[in-house]
Amino acid sequence: MSKKNGKESNPVNNTSQPPSLFEDMDLFKNSLPAQESKKTPNSDHNILHNEQGGSGPLHTLMDENFLLFASYTICNRAIPAVEDGLKPVQRRIMHSLKEKDDGRFIKVANIVGHTMQYHPHGDASIADALVNLTNKRYLIEGQGNFGNVFTGDRAAASRYIECRLTELARNELFNKKITSYIASYDGRNKEPIMLPCKLPMLLMLGAEGIAVGLSTVILPHNFIELLEAQIEIIRKNPVKVLPDFQTGGQMDVSEYNDGIGKIKVRATIKPRDKNKLIITQLPAGQTTESLINNIEEAIKRKKIAVKQINDYTAAKVEIELVLTTGTSQNRAIQMLYAFTACEHSITSRPVMLYNNRPSEMTTTEVLKICTEQLMQFLQRELEIRLSELDDLFHDKTLEQIFIEERIYKRIEEKVTYDEVQKAVLSGFKAFLKRLRREITLEDVEKLLQIKIRRISRYDINKSRQEIEKILEEEATVKNNLKQLKRYTIRYIKNLIKKYSKQYPRLTSISESGFKQVEVRKLTASELSLQIDKENGYIGTDIKGGEELLKCSSLDKIIVVWADGSYKMMPPPDKFFVDKNWIYCQIFNKEKEFTAVYREPDYGFAYIKRFAFGGAIQNKDYRLAPLNSKILLFQEDAPEYIFLKYKAAKRQQIHQQVFAPIEEVRLKGVSAKGIQMTTKTIAKIVTKKPQWWDDDARGSKGILT
């Protein structure tokens, strides 16, 4: 995809048809993976590949059909256009509403049926798109049940609800004089290529869509802020606009850069009474139903201490959460942000059509294009109006001269129509200086169609006042054309003045970002891991056991057994460890340990220092060979290790001390340790014991 700036020509203004979608196939060919040529043996003419190894007819057919489908999906269904901010189905709906518009509400089913003249797809897709546009408030006003953006309730059937254009849409989205049309899909009707939209509609509405090979997520923005930014663009000042959502809530834009990147959104949660919280605004992308379901799942997982949820949502969001006894309200709010959809991220992928090609643009680039387009439309409307005023002045002046100078009297005795026309033309010769252009036979025809009653009641003063008003308006229009930027700014300011109260900002902004919720710290002691020594179980659901440790549901624990096996797992509800476990703590892959074990083959004792490192949860591992026995296991390195050997015939050394242990090289958890002794160990401790004999010879052990 190419990145566009705002300086390319605008196809809306062209009277000729735009290039076919299928002329853009090179755009998609470049993104396709290269095809390797293969030739089927025992075939002189492979239908897929020709003898030279190139593409065969079927391969070419599939390529071309796929490209046609991709081009159609991108340009005619899923991706909105920068020029009017609409997808094709939305544009056809708006065009149909304008054609049927008489200021009164129209049944939605009628609009859906009328739109099907232009739209090649079914009525369900049209009805859904119309409801969606209505709920975005700007373009369509609904009457009846159009669903609820807060609760997620669906709209009633299209035969039961009515709609009409809003004043904003009626005034800012249509003008037949500057609209180009093409034939509809069946050739029976004409539909607009683009609507002559004077608003930054793409950023106002936002959009989501999935096409072949690309998708788009364009976040909605505040209408008034967009208009203010357009004024700054005309004045060549830097601009910054941020998303705004109908559901309100809070927004962190620290990772959002001019329409690209991601934002974090939060629900607005406030304390109520002593043990209640109230959700008054939803995070974007959530409804009350989806959020309540998400909170209930968190309750089941014991993530948040809520015992009851009451939904009082009607015109405004109101979800009441009753907390369990003794739960801090502030802590509960942090838990909601940490473990539920009360806080989540939205990634913006601003892909759109510009000049009928998919492009990725920043918000500023889109605004610049919309602002330039607005100035072009206003200029064209002024030029058209100037031309209309010129025609009006000509017609009024002709009529004034024709009646005031009694030229109509010259035709009373003329017999033929040619003589009548010549008489009128000759009568104007003395007054040509008052006219701006020559008189045509069409002008004469208009004058001859003036009724006698109108001539008899002609008001000279009123006629002169009308001409003066035409001249005054003409001067104003010319001045506006000369000062087009000032005129555009005035135009935008009038819109701001008219609609600022109707469209306030709903989502509050956190420029510096949300305060990070320290989830592990928040949940460090949420679970109590108990042990049932009698039956050999550990877990968080064991009743009447002895507490081993406090932990978080986010933690992993590690259990080590006396035979050298170990396992890493989430805190279990109930897990059988038997009675030969020797260590159970929160897993830390970087923590160092010291272990002394007796290997099974010769009974030799080995020592090693290690860290567990990475591990897959619930998988069985070993830190010593199979059938070994762990004699010593502890965190870090002890200063000394004292050994007392089992008595044996002709044994001269009965005890040994090994130090410094911290100089033993750190190894991987599965590596073989360093041999300490071949003797059978009777006792092993890390503190000097009472049985230690300071005078015994050969007590200094060597670690090699």
Domain range summary for the chain, segments of one domain joined by +: 11-217, 268-341, 378-499, 520-685
Instruction: Give 447's contacts (C-beta < 8 A, 6+ positions apart).
Output: 398, 399, 402, 408, 424
Q: Is the pLDDT of residue 20 over 60?
A: no
Span 85-107, average pLDDT: 95
Of the candidates 418, 427, 413, the residue with the CA atom closest to the CA atom of residue 445: 418
Q: Is the pLDDT of residue 34 over 50?
A: no
C-alpha to C-alpha distance for 313 and 481, rounded to whole angstroms:
51
**Tens-place pLDDT, residues 661-685:** 998 999 999 999 999 999 999 999 9
378-499 topology per CATH: Topoisomerase; domain 3 (1.10.268)
**Tens-place pLDDT, residues 354-385:** 988 888 999 999 999 999 999 999 999 999 99
C-alpha to C-alpha distance for 389 and 76, rounded to whole angstroms:
39
Span 476-498, average pLDDT: 97
The pLDDT assigned to 520 comes to 62
Alpha-helical runs (H) found in 55-87: 57-73
Q: Is the pLDDT of residue 144 over 50?
A: yes
Residue 88 banded pLDDT, cuts 50, 70, 90: very high
C-alpha to C-alpha distance for 656 and 129, rounded to whole angstroms:
84
Alpha-helical runs (H) found in 136-286: 167-172, 201-205, 223-234
Burial of 217 (0-12, 13-18, 19+ CB in 10 A): middle
Cis amide bond preceding 358, omega within 30 = no
When mean pLDDT is compared over 373-377, 425-429, 461-465, the highest value belongs to: 373-377
CATH architecture label of 520-685: 6 Propeller (2.120)
The pLDDT assigned to 522 comes to 65
Span 634-657, average pLDDT: 90
To the query of whether residue 160 is one of the catalytic residues in this protein, the response is yes
The class (CATH top level) of 268-341 is alpha beta
% pLDDT > 90, the chain? 68
Domain 11-217: give its CATH superfamily.
Topoisomerase II, domain 5 (3.90.199.10)
Catalytic residue, chosen from 72, 160, 337, 408, is 160
- The pTM for the full model equals 0.75
The pLDDT assigned to 114 comes to 96
Of the candidates 562, 559, 560, the residue with the CA atom closest to the CA atom of residue 571: 559
Span 625-643, average pLDDT: 94
Around Cβ 677, how many Cβ atoms within 10 Å? 20
C-alpha to C-alpha distance for 425 and 444, rounded to whole angstroms:
8
**Tens-place pLDDT, residues 336-349:** 998 899 999 999 99
Tokens of 330: 């502030």
Query: What is the length of the chain?
Result: 704
